[in-house]
Amino acid sequence: RDTYIEKQFGRLNDMQREAVFTTNGPLLILAGAGSGKTTVLVNRIANLIRFGSAHGSKWTPREVTEDDVKALRTAIMTGTDAPSWLDGMLRKDAVRSWNVMAITFTNKAAGELKERLRRMLGGEEGDEVFASTFHSACVRILRRWAEEIGYPRSFTIYDSDDSQRVMKTVYKELSVDDKFFPVKSAINQMSRWKDQLISPEEALKTPARDTKGALAAKVYAAYEKKLKEAGAFDFDDLIYQTVILLSEHEDVREFYQNKYKYLLVDEYQDTSVAQFRLVSLLTGPEKNICVVGDDDQSIYRFRGATIENILNFERIYKGTRTIRLEQNYRSTSNILNAANCVIQHNTERKGKTLWTKNGEGDKVQVYTAENEQDEASHIADVIGQHLKEGGHLADHAILYRMNAQSAPIESYFTRAGIPHKIVGGQRFNDRKEVKDIHSYMSIVANPRDDVRLRRIINEPARKIGATTIEVIADLAAQQGISMLDVISHADQYAKLSRAIAPLFKFWDIYQKLQESLETKTLDEFASDVIEITGYRAMLEADAAKGHEDAADRLQNLGQLVNNVKSYCDQHGEEASLEGYLEDIALISDIDSYNESADQVVLMTIHSAKGLEFPYVFLIGMEEGVFPSEMSKYSEADLEEERRLAYVGITRAKKELYISNSVTRMLYGRTQRNEPSRFLREIEPEYIEETRSPVLEQRSRLGGWGSGYGSDTVPGGASGYSGPSGWGRAASGHGSGYGSRSGYLNKEYNAPMSNSRGFGSDYAGRG
Ligand code: ATP
Ligand code: MG
């Protein structure tokens, strides 16, 4: 195994090796896409555990001669065995695997880290390294210490749907009008505040800019109170409350600082203020903190990530060693150059240029489609061709700006029988029947969870009406107890006298579920939930009545039980209801992506961060789609979109296909979009362009489009056929968009409620 590790070290370039062997003190690795940042992170952990913290810079002061060092260095560089006598000596300083914590953003990335560590260190040691996402790390901490900040250890984790339900209740109680200040805006504002570690008290104290701001602070405070009463955290709370816990409780803080002596953070450019604070609270006095990131790939500013965290690292951690990597190992030079071209247009960046020895490769293939179906069919053709040549489906990823863009590809692929997997979108755990059953399971785990209780108290229908539910909620609030407490003593409240029978029936169901949990295995319990609550009977009755989706829903519940079973198989003795619920709460989009199956992967660029694929299709490269409509009014937003484009392009190893479409149906409207400015920013020498045969034919017949938007794009002249010269096909097209009026067909008559008002512009021309 050690030989294997050394072979891995031998593969590294000088700068990477320096980063790996810088074992102590603050370390910042700042480098572009595909330059081996994550690779360095994994190798660095392996080095710490295998060869210890003395390996590297602090090496010579030990009782080892120059020659010994040389011998070892040669061994490492050439990948041959290290002199065995050195072995024992080195291990004296070895870091124990459970002293290392590695944090990253997605579960997928965390899983990959674990897998690579297992490969390097072997199963046992590899598994002992705590590699996790920010959120899971916080859940783990809170499960142990939540009581210190007034929450139960068996807390529930609320997803965005639950949050909205809570907020709606708050609105009702405070008589806030959703039309005046939408619930979603309140939730967003609250989320920003938590990202910035602003408490409800502080938000209330800060003079608000307007009525809405004041309202936001008020509902924030009420919302937090509700969650605390319910013993629940939402996603932002997981981080925010852990920060509070660690800041306020020195003993807890010291516990973790002692436990995790080495801290490593991947994708550091996307950390928020709260995450930054969390990392610094976890960092012990030795400051063994290593962060890895790329300012050009910062794509979560809209969610509160702050690039300052990277820029300030050196200032905050004195004596930081900064290492830059410039060689890209992932992509061909055509792909890399295309990425460089695009990102160069950002002004707000620490300039760096990546290079590669991977060879030129094919040019970036740009395809202009007639519409989104044509785009889908073109992609299917390309993939089909690759398969004929012996390629694999799973080597292909289709990336897009917005989830909604997956729909046409999905429907085309389904019809064409191309196996594919959508990451994100409507997830299994978001389906109504699945959420309902999970809600039952949640209230058994946490009887204080009123939000989930409300969700299922009358699902299936059991004659517990909305009025009764409000009465129960009021009674609970008055006495400071949970709704379930009220239900269990329903006969003691005059106001509930008419609902006693159904409420007791519900209480009876609840007790049966509790008993089932205590006496049976977790998957049997899940089956019982479906039976005892009458959920299965309800769906079977629906199916008998001819409800089409009832059978699907029954099947989904079968799948749910299977999922519980496989959770149990994975966790053995440690399986618990809380653990299962935690798992599903933390599963993010990316996790439904199963790498072993041979399927084309569809996902947003945001989800693809840190991943790589031999063949990447970047679709919808159009103004108004990517960059998005919203971003076009702010330079900062545009730069974020451009970084996103950079992330998308740099996912590709061998070949990159970019497509744009002349018309696109999105959110039920047909839009006409010009090719994205990001496409135009790529130098023509790296591109090969083709157009849909239908477009070619049309332009031969009528010729239209030399003025393709050139007076609607900022910086007009460089429009589609502008001086940059890309877009061979655009040149020589007729006089104006409108001249295609001769080919008007149904599609062109479709309402063009393009939000940019381009519709009227196009219509008036030619
Ligand atoms: P991103 O910015 O996208 O997260 P990254 O900087 O983390 O990228 P990695 O994912 O670590 O880059 O590496 C990109 C690819 O290059 C991987 O396939 C990795 O195995 C390979 N690689 C990294 N370093 C080397 C090296 N020294 N020799 C050969 N291949 C390498
Ligand atoms: Mg990476």
CB 245 within 8 A of CB 148: yes
CB 759 within 8 A of CB 752: yes
Average pLDDT over residues 350-366: 90
651 is catalytic: yes
CB 217 within 8 A of CB 192: no
> Which of the 8 DSSP states describes residue 625?
B
The encoded tokens of residue 422 equal 């959508």
- What pLDDT does 764 receive? 27
Among candidate residues 6, 18, 224, 266, the one labeled active-site is 266
- What pLDDT does 161 receive? 87
Residue 727, pLDDT > 60, answer no
Residue with tokens 């012996």: 390
ipTM: 0.99
Average pLDDT over residues 59-82: 64
Helix (H) or strand (E) holding 369: strand 364-369
38 is catalytic: yes
Confidence of residue 68 (pLDDT cuts 50, 70, 90): low
Q: Take atom 20 of ligand 1 and give the residue whose Cα is closest.
A: 39
Confidence of residue 502 (pLDDT cuts 50, 70, 90): very high
Among candidate residues 651, 691, 698, 740, the one labeled active-site is 651
* CA 514, chain centre distance (Å): 35
Residue 499, pLDDT > 90, answer yes
Average pLDDT over residues 533-555: 87
The region of weakest confidence among 410-414, 488-492, 648-652 is 410-414
The verdict on whether residue 546 carries a ligand-binding annotation is: no
What's the pLDDT tens digit per position in 395-452?
999 999 988 788 788 878 887 888 988 886 666 778 899 999 999 999 999 999 999 9
Average pLDDT over residues 223-229: 95
Residue 715, pLDDT > 80, answer no
CB 397 within 8 A of CB 617: yes
Q: Take atom 8 of ligand 1 and give the residue whose Cα is closest.
A: 34
The encoded tokens of residue 615 equal 């063949």
Residue 723, pLDDT > 50, answer no
Any idea what the Cα angle at residue 91 is, between residues 89 and 97, rounded to 5°? 175
- What pLDDT does 714 receive? 35
Pairing between β-strand 669-672 and β-strand 663-666 as defined by DSSP bridges? antiparallel
Average pLDDT, the chain: 84
- Residue among 39, 607, 613 whose CB has most ligand 1 atoms within 8 A, to mutate: 39
Average pLDDT over residues 718-729: 30
What's the pLDDT tens digit per position in 204-222?
988 777 788 889 999 999 9
Residue 622, pLDDT > 90, answer yes
Residue 766, pLDDT > 90, answer no
Pairing between β-strand 130-133 and β-strand 156-158 as defined by DSSP bridges? unpaired
Residue with tokens 């618990």: 576
- How many helical (H) and strand (E) elements, i.e. helices and strands, does the chain have? 35, 19
Ligand 1 proximity of 610 Cβ (cutoff 6 Å): yes
Residue 527: beta bridge partners? none
Average pLDDT over residues 695-719: 50
Percent of the chain's residues with pLDDT above 70 = 85
Average pLDDT over residues 576-585: 90
CB 114 within 8 A of CB 131: yes
Interval between CA 270 and ligand 2 midpoint (Å): 12
Interval between CA 115 and ligand 2 midpoint (Å): 14
CA distance 609 to 360: 24
Residue 755, pLDDT > 90, answer no
Confidence of residue 690 (pLDDT cuts 50, 70, 90): very high
Residue 652, pLDDT > 50, answer yes
CA distance 618 to 641: 14
Strands in 592-729 per DSSP E: 600-604, 613-618, 652-661, 663-666, 669-672, 687-691
> Which residue from 589, 644, 628, 30 is spatially nearest to 301, judged by alpha carbons?
644
CB 22 within 8 A of CB 291: no
The verdict on whether residue 36 carries a ligand-binding annotation is: yes
- Residue among 330, 357, 649 whose CB has most ligand 1 atoms within 8 A, to mutate: 330
Residue 58, pLDDT > 80, answer no
61-94: b (≥16 Cβ within 10 Å) or e:
eeebeeebeebbeebbeeeeebeeebeeebeebb
Which tops the pLDDT comparison, 723 or 245?
Answer: 245
CA distance 108 to 123: 18
Ligand 1 proximity of 8 Cβ (cutoff 6 Å): no
The region of weakest confidence among 252-256, 444-448, 724-728 is 724-728
- What pLDDT does 595 receive? 55
Among candidate residues 106, 133, 189, 297, the one labeled active-site is 297
The region of weakest confidence among 371-375, 574-578, 584-588 is 584-588
CA distance 142 to 159: 17
What's the pLDDT tens digit per position in 147-200?
999 999 989 999 888 999 999 999 999 999 999 999 999 999 999 999 999 999
37 is catalytic: yes
